[in-house]
């Protein structure tokens, strides 16, 4: 079975991260498949809304570390970079149902979409610094504008988990929904957009909401990508990844 499931019904294209045995950790191939699905939904007149969710008890645990180490992003042709840029520029509404834990890009992607509903059981985390890396996907630009500088700094510098209520409080999510009701609730909200709201007005409103920051956001994404790539080759990142595979705490003090 595919690691990415795509279905279209009632004007909604649902894209599901479908690797529950690995907590929906994302591989290069999965990014490529998602990009393909998003492009197809964009040109399909039957699709008015895109809905993301995850299979099992996780939304996504972020990048598959082994796959990421073996095939790191190298530039604009990298599927992960294409995914980020497509999220940032997508014209149709995107809704996300965060059905379980979201880590790394599972959180930063939420800053680019339009509406986020998060399960009351979910925990979110952006552990870039703890992996010897830096923020990605424009999060260093967007999160301070959503949450304020102090809260954004706390979330990014510590990389600690936070709950759905905090996600709503800092502007990452619209509301918390009981886990058992989440997908049905999000799907119904998407149905209303798809069947009871005109697509032209939806796209126009989304464009007006986002276009003033578009150039600055694009510049931030590129700047982060350069810094992120540089950090990938650092001693700190190598120690962090080694510690991850060896199931131990990293020793960053040795690099002080």
Whose structure tokens read 């082994």? 66
Cβ-based neighbour number of residue 179 at 10 Å: 16
CA 152/CA 104 separation, integer angstroms: 14
Specify whether the CB–CB gap between 30 and 62 falls below 8 A: no
Residue 232: which CATH number? 3.90.226.10
- Is residue 58 a part of any domain in this protein? yes
- Is residue 64 a part of any domain in this protein? yes
- Is residue 188 a part of any domain in this protein? no
pLDDT at 194: 98
- Is residue 189 a part of any domain in this protein? no
pLDDT at 70: 85
List per-block mean pLDDT (blocks of 10 residues) for the chain, which spans 256 residues: 94 98 96 98 98 97 89 83 96 98 98 98 97 95 97 98 98 98 98 98 97 95 93 91 90 84
- Is residue 10 a part of any domain in this protein? yes
- Is residue 174 a part of any domain in this protein? yes
Please tell me the total count of domains within the chain.
1
Helical H segments across 95-148, by residue range: 105-108, 139-147
pLDDT at 76: 81
- Is residue 186 a part of any domain in this protein? no
pLDDT at 71: 85
Domain range spanning residue 204?
1-180+199-256
SS3 24: coil
pLDDT at 148: 97
pLDDT at 1: 67
- Is residue 248 a part of any domain in this protein? yes
Q: DSSP assignment, residue 20?
A: G
């Amino acid at each position: 079975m595919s690691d990415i499931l795509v279905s279209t019904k009632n004007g909604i294209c649902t894209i599901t991260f479908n690797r529950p045995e690995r907590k929906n950790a994302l591989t290069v191939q999965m990014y490529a498949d998602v990009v393909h699905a998003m492009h197809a939904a964009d040109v399909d007149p039957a699709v008015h809304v895109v809905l993301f969710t995850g299979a099992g008890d996780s939304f996504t645990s972020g990048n598959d570390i082994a796959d990421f180490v073996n095939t790191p992003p190298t530039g604009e042709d990298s599927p992960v970079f294409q995914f980020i840029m497509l999220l940032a520029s997508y014209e149709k509404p995107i809704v996300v149902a965060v059905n379980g834990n979201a880590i790394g890009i599972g959180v930063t992607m939420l800053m680019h979409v339009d509406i986020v509903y998060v399960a009351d059981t979910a925990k979110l985390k952006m552990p870039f610094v703890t992996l010897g890396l830096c923020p990605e996907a424009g999060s260093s630009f967007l999160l301070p504008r959503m949450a304020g500088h102090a809260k954004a700094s706390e979330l990014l510098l510590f990389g600690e988990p936070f709950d759905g209520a905090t996600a709503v409080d800092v502007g990452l999510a619209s509301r918390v929904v009981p886990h058992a009701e989440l997908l049905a609730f999000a799907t119904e909200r998407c149905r209303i957009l798809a069947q009871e709201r005109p697509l032209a007005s939806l796209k126009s409103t989304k464009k007006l909401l986002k276009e003033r920051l578009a150039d600055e956001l694009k510049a931030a994404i590129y700047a982060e990508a350069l810094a992120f790539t540089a950090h990938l080759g650092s001693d700190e990142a190598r120690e962090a990844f080694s510690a991850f595979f060896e199931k131990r705490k990293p020793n960053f003090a040795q690099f002080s």
